[in-house]
Amino acid sequence: MVNFHARAGAVDRPIPAGIRTIGVADLKSALADGVNDFIAMPSHVVFLSLIYPVVGLLLARMTFGGDLIHLLFPLTAGFAFIGPFAATGLYEMSRRRELGLDVSWKHAFAVLQSPSLRAITVLALLLIGIFLCWLVAAHQLYHFVGIGPPKSPAHFIVDVLTTSPGHKLIFIGGAIGVLFGAIVTIISVVSFPMLLDRPVGALEAVATSVRAVIANPVTMALWGLAVAVALTIGSLPFFVGLAVVMPVLGHATWHLYRRIVEP
């Protein structure tokens, strides 16, 4: 059953996709194309992406309303881990615009009719699993470094920034976050767009993504860093910036896929 889902939508004997070597100029070009798509489809994209700041605010409310204040940053950072799947509808919109087809907000949900839906679901569950593992790791690390239960958000911030356990939390937590982010980038940087574009399964899409990173390690590292910085900026203030950052990154990822994987 797992093998069936992993290969759903794939041809019997897929030919490995060719991988190009790209540079910083390609990253800038992909981002510029992402901005152009956002400008060309603002009403559709904003309508869809409003869910991100709303969800972010709900997560923040849940965190500050209980004893889980220490998970606010991990929850925010988690957008980067589930973002490749959450932006699938945006990839579809960019794909349609690239082909000169009609584009409206409803086409973002055309993913639900994709022959690769099962494979997309498999990869989505994988990213959700990574996201949950990240939250567990962050929670355990918080208790491991020895920071006491926060009395308030302000008290928590002071503890993190001014105490030795807080500095350990920043350093070790950052290192763990980079590790999780690298894993997500390696398996998903081109896999979701590829599933929309070609009759391949999840295994083939992930294998292509891995080969893309191996062929472009420095460029992909810079892309991952750019995504992390953009999401951090978009989360301020109160996650509202995600309504712009998420769609731009989503569209840009589609164009990055076009530059890396040969047609």
The tens digit of pLDDT for each residue in 130-179 reads: 999 999 999 899 989 888 777 777 788 888 889 898 999 999 999 999 99
Amino acid identity at 105: W
pLDDT recorded at residue 149: 76
Alpha-carbon span 235 to 239, nearest angstrom: 4
pLDDT recorded at residue 66: 60
pLDDT recorded at residue 27: 97
pLDDT recorded at residue 36: 95
208 CB-side CA count, 13 A: 27
Alpha-carbon span 261 to 206, nearest angstrom: 13
Using 50 as the pLDDT threshold, list the residues of the chain that sit under it: 1-11
Give the chain's length: 263
185 CB-side CA count, 13 A: 23
pLDDT recorded at residue 58: 66
pLDDT recorded at residue 79: 77
Beta carbons of 178 and 151 less than 8 angstroms apart? no
Q: Which of 262, 255, 126 is nearest to 202 (CA)?
A: 126
Cα 199 to Cα 5, 88, 195, 249, distances in angstroms: 13, 16, 7, 24
83 CB-side CA count, 13 A: 32
Amino acid identity at 212: A
Torsion sign (Cα): 123, 129, 133, 135: positive
For 200, counting Cβ atoms within 10 Å of its Cβ (0-12 exposed, 13-18 middle, 19+ buried), the class is buried
**Furthest CA-CA distance within the chain:** 59
**Per-domain boundaries in the chain:** 2-7+31-260
Amino acid identity at 96: R
Amino acid identity at 177: G
Alpha-carbon span 153 to 88, nearest angstrom: 34
pLDDT recorded at residue 205: 95
Beta carbons of 38 and 48 less than 8 angstroms apart? no
Cα 63 to Cα 1, 4, 74, 169, 235, distances in angstroms: 37, 39, 11, 18, 15
pLDDT recorded at residue 125: 96
pLDDT recorded at residue 32: 97
pLDDT recorded at residue 1: 44
